[in-house]
């Protein structure tokens, strides 16, 4: 699929997938990016909930994290095979080696990287994330980020440092970086 950008032409033959921690803004930025490119948008967490007919918190409580990761993997591979789109994934999607291989083969992967303080500010308003229902959510978030940083970094074609809420600037940056990755020397 071809999207004509003000800064050039973006030829994309596979989905653009956003990875990163809870609170990095994957859904918000993903929706804005899909609007700018006129691509379909999917949020893998939402698709998991639709398929399961219940919330992610309920899946964790009833069936456990391992079951959630299996369903998440199936959803992501299905979305990857559905043609060009923008897909926001759950923060732990990269924990599955199978999902990492599927992303490596079938997507342009964008890591939205943010500090624990930025992430914490964003997640503290929401009570919906089962992994953060601990006595010290900031310490939990920090430990998860430490465990996952190498996985995100190795999976990413592009890394975006998220410091502010300016989705427009982030979207412009991603599009430019993708253009350069896909057609080196084009921007
Ligand atoms: C998770 C992140 C959540 C959701 C689930 C597990 C994680 O998605 O998939 O609660 O392991 O980091 P968001 O990153 O969209 O909050």
Q: Model-level pTM greater than 0.85?
A: yes
Sequence-ordered list of residues with C-beta below 8 angstroms from that of 93, at least 6 positions apart, any chain? 19, 44, 72, 73, 76, 99, 103
| pLDDT for the residue numbered 3 | 54
The pLDDT of 108-119, averaged and rounded, is 96
- Intra-chain end-to-end CA distance of the chain, in Å: 19
**How many A from CA of 24 to the centre of ligand 1?**
11
**How many A from CA of 118 to the centre of ligand 1?**
16
Among protein residues, the one with the nearest Cα to ligand 1's atom 15 is 90
Residue 86 in this model has a pLDDT that exceeds 90: yes
- Substitution candidate for ligand 1 out of 66, 90, 143 with most atoms within 8 A of CB: 90
User: Does the Cβ of 57 fall within 6 Å of ligand 1?
Assistant: no
Return d(Cα 148, Cα 161) in angstroms, integer: 16
| pLDDT for the residue numbered 8 | 41
User: Does the Cβ of 131 fall within 6 Å of ligand 1?
Assistant: yes
| pLDDT for the residue numbered 187 | 56
pLDDT tens-place string over residues 118-172: 999 999 877 889 999 999 999 999 999 999 999 999 999 999 999 877 889 999 9
**How many A from CA of 21 to the centre of ligand 1?**
7
pLDDT band at 28 (very low <50, low <70, confident <90, very high): very high
**How many A from CA of 4 to the centre of ligand 1?**
33
């Amino acid at each position: 699929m071809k999207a004509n950008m003000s800064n050039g032409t973006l030829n994309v033959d596979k989905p653009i997938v956003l990875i990163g921690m809870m609170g990095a803004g994957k859904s918000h930025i993903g929706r804005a990016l899909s609007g700018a490119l006129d691509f379909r948008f999917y949020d893998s967490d939402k698709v998991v909930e639709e398929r399961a007919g219940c919330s992610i918190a309920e899946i964790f409580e009833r069936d456990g994290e391992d079951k959630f990761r299996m369903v998440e993997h199936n959803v992501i591979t299905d979305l990857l095979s559905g043609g060009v789109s923008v897909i926001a994934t759950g923060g732990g999607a990269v924990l599955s080696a199978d999902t990492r291989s599927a992303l490596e083969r079938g997507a342009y992967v964008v890591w939205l990287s943010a500090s624990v303080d930025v992430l914490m500010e964003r997640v503290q308003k929401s009570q919906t994330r089962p992994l953060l229902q601990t006595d010290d959510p900031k310490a939990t978030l920090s430990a998860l980020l430490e465990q996952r940083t190498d996985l995100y970094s190795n999976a990413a074609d592009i890394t975006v440092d998220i410091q502010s809420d300016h989705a427009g600037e982030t979207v412009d940056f991603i599009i430019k970086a993708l253009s350069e990755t896909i057609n080196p020397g084009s921007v």
